Amino acid sequence: MLTHLPPTATGAEIAQALRRDGGVIVDDLASDELLDSFFAEMAPWVERTGVGSDDFAGRNTRRTGGLLARSRTAQDLVMHPTVLATCDDFLGHVTSYQLHLTQIIDIGPRSEAQSIHRDQWAFDFFPFPTGYDVQCNTIWAGDDFTEANGATRIVVGSNHREDGLRFGPEDTEPAEMRRGSVLFYSGSVYHGGGANTTDAHRRAINITYNVSFLRQEENQYLSVPRATAATFPKPLQRLMGYRMGAYALGYIDDLRDPLAVLDPDVVDHESNAFGTATQADLAQAAARARSAPES
Ligand SMILES: O=C(O)CCC(=O)C(=O)O
Ligand SMILES: [Fe+2]
């Protein structure tokens, strides 16, 4: 059974449930007002989005991305303190994490279920060790999620299973939740969008985060015009990927911090472990990564 936690749950509590089950619901974390203004800002973009071109994307499902470029309110979801506290804990075994993708998933009336998968298969099916998580994902319910309208289906606990498995709907549980609640799920848990057997749309907001040493699924540097990104708060710019991943990943020209392209006054770059790391620090980091698994 999927656990439900109250909106007051801490990042540590959410991450603990996530490590155990691969998915957990936090109820009522976003207000109706926030969601109303988000969907109003996004409406023109959703309207002109076409349906998916294959079964996985959903032939009756519209996926509208670029949320940060298109909606001011999206920042409140992307940077929600409870979400970031959960990512801080769940991905605490790496130097930094980043925004992976932002997307409204609107499953149209009378849609087939999506096949059950792991989101981390996006990384060219690399078989990450069981227990070594590279993603912390959210699906916000933009409408009440019910089994009938296509609530995301989860194979609870499958984050501990081997890679490459196939599951049917009978192995899954629907993440039923009210509008404004959010499903946290790992990149390693088997899941999929449910079949929508109703005449209404099922809207979700999928916002995911991944370790900075892997590539982003939605390219934030190109999805959000640079002039727009330059107006964002620094922590959001960092989260979008204007930062070094680990010691040297993503620097510009003369080893400069990539944030300098948005703000020429930035000269410092975030300190990160390896510049000054001793052998003992490195051994400790390696041990942390190895023990992240089932701890
Ligand atoms: O729409 C959903 O509920 C889940 C979608 C999903 O898992 C995906 O597209 O990777
Ligand atoms: Fe997925």
Per-residue pLDDT of the chain (295 residues), as tens digits, is 999 999 999 999 999 999 999 999 999 999 999 999 999 999 999 999 999 999 999 999 999 999 999 999 999 999 999 999 999 999 999 999 999 999 999 999 999 999 999 999 999 999 999 999 999 999 999 999 999 999 999 999 999 999 999 999 999 999 999 999 999 999 999 999 999 999 999 999 999 999 999 999 999 999 999 999 999 999 999 999 999 999 999 999 999 999 999 998 886 656 554 445 556 656 666 665 666 554 3
Decide if 203 contacts 143 (C-beta within 8 A): yes
Nearest atom in ligand 1 to 153's CA = 3
Domain ranges of the chain: 4-221
Ligand 1 geometric centre to CA of 251 (Å): 32
Phi, then psi, of 243 in degrees rounded to 5: -160, 165
- Ligand minimally distant from the alpha carbon of residue 172: 1
- Ligand minimally distant from the alpha carbon of residue 56: 1
**The 3-state secondary structure of the chain, one letter per residue:** CCCEECCCCCHHHHHHHHHHHCEEEECCCCCHHHHHHHHHHHHHHHHCCCECCCCCCCCCEEEEECHHHHCCCHHHHHCCHHHHHHHHHHCCCCCCEEEEEEEEEEECCCECCCCCECHHHHCCCCCCCCCCCCEEEEEEECCCECCCCCCCEECCCHHHCCCCCCCCHHHCEECCECCCCEEEEECCCCEECCCECCCCCEEEEEEEEEECCCCCCCCHHHHCCHHHHCCCCHHHHHHHCCCCECCCECCECCCECHHHHCCCCCCCCCCCHHHHCCHHHHHHHHHHHHHCCCC
Our answer on whether the CB atom of 241 is closer than 6 Å to any ligand 1 atom is no
For residue 290, the model assigns a pLDDT of 62
For residue 32, the model assigns a pLDDT of 98
Our answer on whether the CB atom of 152 is closer than 6 Å to any ligand 1 atom is yes
Q: Is 150 left (phi over 0), alpha (psi -120 to 50) or beta?
A: left
Pocket test for ligand 1, best of 114, 120, 167 (most atoms within 8 A of CB): 114
- Fold classification of 4-221 is Jelly Rolls (2.60.120)
pTM of the model: 0.93
